[in-house]
Chains A and B, each alone.
Chain A
Amino acid sequence: MSRRKADKKENEPEVRGPNSALTAFLREQGIDAGAIRRRYEQSLLTERNEQTSHLYEQEDESFEENEIILAAIEKRRRKRAEANADGSYSDSSFSGDDLKDSHYCMNCDREFRITVYSKKVEKDGKVGYLCIKCTRFQIEQEGRKKKAAFEARKKRKKLASALLNRQELKIPSLQDICIKLLSTHIDDVHALGDISVVSMNKISRILSKNRSLNNRTMMLFLDATLKHLEFWDCSNIDMAYLDKITTFCPKLESITLNMCGQLHNSNLISFAQNLLSLNSVVLNGPFLISEPTWIQFFELMNEKLRLFHVSNTHRFSDQCLQSLLTNCGGRLESLSLSRLDGLSSKAAYDVLPYHLKNLKLLDLSNPFKENLIDDNLIISILSVNGGSIETLLLDGCSGLTDLFLVKGVKKFCPFLKRISLESLDQVTDNGFTQLFDGWNINSGLIEVNLKRCSGLTDRGLFTFLSHSASSLVSLNLNSVYSLSRTLFETLSRTLRFPLLTTLDLGFVRSVDDKAIAILSRICPKLKELEVYGNNRCTQRARIRRGLKVLGRQSDSI
C-alpha cells in the first residue's frame, strides 16, 4: 500500500488515471486517503497505550475528577476576576479574599481548594468548609449514624413488643440453661443423681410447662428420701406409674398433682394406705375419683390431713364434704374447695363452721350456685377460725354482701393478710368504710384482689388504702369502674405505699398520665403497673425507672 502511495506521490504531476468527480473534489479540498489512514493508525496506537495505563488511572480517577472540577472553577473565577477588574469592586480586601483559592479545613485546619463537593459545616459559630478527606470522612460518618439510628429504632420497637408480651428482659440463668438441656436429654440423666431439691423442682416444673412430663420422665423425680412432690401436669402419667409414687417415695409428706385426670380410685387409696407421713394433698381435676373412694380416703387419712385442696371435679359431692369434715375437719389448716359442681346443697356448706377450727387458709371460690355461700356462713366460719385465718379467697361468691365484712372479717380476723373478693358485686362503699375505719386489730393486708367489685368507689377504696397502705404488696383493682381521678389526687397528698410491688388498674378508665405519674411517685417499690383499656394513658406519662407500665396503646406501635 505504502508503495502505491509513494508511487502516487512520485507520479503525481505526470501520469493520471481515470478520475471521478469525487476524487477531483477531494484533491481540491486537500483531503488525502493516505493522511486519513495515517491518522487512523496513530489513533489505534495511542488507544493501546491508554489501555495499558488504564489501571493506574482508575485509582486516581476521583482525584482527577477533583482536578477537573478545580480547573473548571478556577477558570470561571479567573474570568469573573477579569470582568471585575474593570473596577466594580473597589474594596481591595474583599476582592483579595475572593481571589484567594485556598481555604482552611474547619476540621483539620489543612489548606485546601474548595470544590462543589466540599461540605459546608458550622462549628463554634463559624461557617466554613471541609477538605476533601474530611468531607469523605464526614459523609461516611453520617451514613454510619443513620444506620445506627435505624438499628436503635428497631431495638426500641422490639423492646416495646417484648414489654407487651410480658417477656422478661432477663438472661436465663446458667442453671435454667442446663436444666433445659437436661430435660431434652432426659434419657441420659438417669446416671446423674446428685441435684439439689430446688433444681429438681425446677426440672419438674419445666417439664410440666413443656407438657413433657410422662411415664418415663417422671421417674427422674422419684427418690426414697423425697418429702415434697409436685407434678404440675400429670395428664400424661398413667395409673400404673402414679402408683410408683407410693413405692418409690414412702416418706412423702405433701403431694401436689395438677391436671390429674388419670388418677384412679386405687391410686388415691394407695396414697392414703402407704404414705404414712402424708399430710398435704392438692389435687386439681381428679374427676375419676368416685364418691365412695373419697369417703374411704378421708376415713383412712383421718387425723393426719392438714391441707386439702381440691378443684375441678364434679364427683366431689355433699357426702364427700361431710366425710372430709367429720374425719379430718378438726385438724385441717388449709382447705380449698373450688369449682366443685357436685357440691350443690346449702346444708353441706352450712356444717363447715362446726368442724373447722384451725384454718389458716380458706378458699371457697367459684361455688356451683351463688346462694350456696352467704354472709351467715362466712361469719360463723370466721367466728371460729378468725384467730388463725390468714388467707381468705372468696372469688365469685357473689351472694356475699357488706355484712360478712362488717360482722365477720372486722370482728374476728386480726391476722388476715390475703383476701380475694373477685366479682363480689354486692360489696359496696358502706361495707368497706365500716370495715377499714378503725380496724385496729388488723395491722394491714398484704395481698388484695378486688377485681370487678363494681360496687366500690373512691370513698370505700380510700378508707381501705389508708388502713393498709404501709403493708400492701399486691393490689388488683381491675374493672373497678367507678374510681375517679380525685382518688389518685387525694392519694398523692396523703398516702405512701412503701411495699406495693404490683398494681392492676386495667379498665379503670379514669386512670391517666397524671395518675400514673402520681403512682410512680408514691409507690417507690412498684414494679408492674397494668393499665389495659385505659386510653388516657399515653407515652408521655412520667415514670420512674424500674417501673413497667403494661397495656398502653402507645406501646404497641
Chain B
Amino acid sequence: MSDEEEDFDKEEFVTLISSDGFKFIISKEIAEVSGTLRNMLGTSFQEAESNRITLHEIDGVLMEKIIQYLHYNFQYKDQVDVPEFDIPTEMALELLVAADFLDV
C-alpha cells in the first residue's frame, strides 16, 4: 500500500537538485515546460527512473527563478493578458545561459 503511494508520488513530482545542493520538488507537469527536462524525463535515462535531476551548472538562486518561470509559464499559457515576468538585471545573462540549457 505504502509502496503504491510512493509510486504515485514519484509519478507526479520531480526533484531538481541545484549545483549547491538545494532540492526543489515540483510537479512533473510543470517541469515539462522545459524541453530539456521533458526529454530527460521521457527517456530511459536514470533521471526518468528516479525522477531526480541534478543540474550541475545552475545554482540555487538561479534555479528558484527558473522554477518561478516554469510556474508562470504553466499558469498563463493560452491567455491573453499575461503579466510581465520580473527578472533582476544582474541575473539576466546567467539566466539566459541557464534558459538556453533548459530550453525554456
Contact B95 A178 (CB under 8 A): yes
- Contact with B100, one of A171, A188, A196 (Cβ below 8 angstroms): A196
- Given A158-B80, A169-B79, A199-B96; A178-B72 close (CB under 8 Å): no
Contact A185 B89 (CB under 8 A): yes
**Which residues of chain A have C-beta atoms less than 8 A from B79's C-beta?**
155, 169
Contact B104 A179 (CB under 8 A): no
- Given A192-B93, A195-B97; A178-B87 close (CB under 8 Å): yes
- Given A178-B92, A182-B92, A185-B89; A155-B100 close (CB under 8 Å): no
Within 8 A of B (CB), among A168-212: 169-175, 177-179, 181-182, 185, 188-189, 192, 194-196, 198-199
B41 to chain A, nearest CB (A): 19
- Contact with A175, one of B77, B78, B89, B99 (Cβ below 8 angstroms): B99
Verify if A71 is at the interface (C-beta below 8 Å from B).
no
Contact B76 A182 (CB under 8 A): no
- Contact with B85, one of A155, A158, A170, A177 (Cβ below 8 angstroms): A177
- Given A181-B87, A185-B92, A199-B96; A171-B77 close (CB under 8 Å): yes
Closest to B84 in A: A177
Verify if B55 is at the interface (C-beta below 8 Å from A).
no
Verify if B73 is at the interface (C-beta below 8 Å from A).
yes
**Which residues of chain B have C-beta atoms less than 8 A from A159's C-beta?**
80
**Which residues of chain B have C-beta atoms less than 8 A from A171's C-beta?**
72-73, 76-77, 82
**Interface centre among A171, A192, A196, by most B CB within 10 Å?**
A171
**Which residues of chain B have C-beta atoms less than 8 A from A175's C-beta?**
96, 99-100, 104
B37 to chain A, nearest CB (A): 13
Verify if A162 is at the interface (C-beta below 8 Å from B).
yes
Question: What's the interface size class on B, roughly?
Answer: 20 to 34
B20 to chain A, nearest CB (A): 21
A20 to chain B, nearest CB (A): 84
Chain B contact surface mostly: helix
**Which residues of chain B have C-beta atoms less than 8 A from A173's C-beta?**
99, 104
Within 8 A of A (CB), among B49-104: 66, 69, 72-73, 76-82, 84-85, 87, 89, 92-93, 95-97, 99-100, 102, 104
**Interface centre among A158, A175, A185, A194, by most B CB within 10 Å?**
A175
Contact B80 A162 (CB under 8 A): yes
Contact B92 A174 (CB under 8 A): no
A557 to chain B, nearest CB (A): 17
- Expressed in whole angstroms, the Cα–Cα distance for A185 and B91 within the complex equals 12
Closest to A174 in B: B99
Verify if A167 is at the interface (C-beta below 8 Å from B).
yes
A206 to chain B, nearest CB (A): 12
**Interface centre among B80, B93, B95, B100, by most A CB within 10 Å?**
B93
Contact B93 A174 (CB under 8 A): no
Contact B80 A155 (CB under 8 A): yes
B83 to chain A, nearest CB (A): 11
A483 to chain B, nearest CB (A): 34
Contact A177 B100 (CB under 8 A): no
- Given A169-B79, A171-B73, A171-B82; A194-B66 close (CB under 8 Å): no
- Expressed in whole angstroms, the Cα–Cα distance for A162 and B80 within the complex equals 7
- Contact with B93, one of A155, A162, A169, A178 (Cβ below 8 angstroms): A178
**Which residues of chain B have C-beta atoms less than 8 A from A181's C-beta?**
87, 89, 92
- Given A179-B96, A195-B96; A174-B89 close (CB under 8 Å): no
**Which residues of chain A have C-beta atoms less than 8 A from B80's C-beta?**
155, 158-159, 162, 167, 169
- Contact with A199, one of B81, B82, B100, B104 (Cβ below 8 angstroms): B100
- Expressed in whole angstroms, the Cα–Cα distance for A181 and B66 within the complex equals 16
**Which residues of chain B have C-beta atoms less than 8 A from A172's C-beta?**
85
Chain B residues near A (Cβ < 8 Å) = 66, 69, 72-73, 76-82, 84-85, 87, 89, 92-93, 95-97, 99-100, 102, 104
Rank and list the top 7 A-B pairs by shortest CB-CB distance, nearest first: A174-B99, A178-B96, A158-B80, A175-B99, A174-B104, A181-B92, A192-B93
A-B contact list, 14 entries, CB within 8 Å: A155-B80, A169-B79, A171-B77, A174-B73, A174-B85, A174-B95, A175-B100, A177-B85, A178-B93, A178-B99, A179-B96, A181-B92, A182-B93, A194-B93
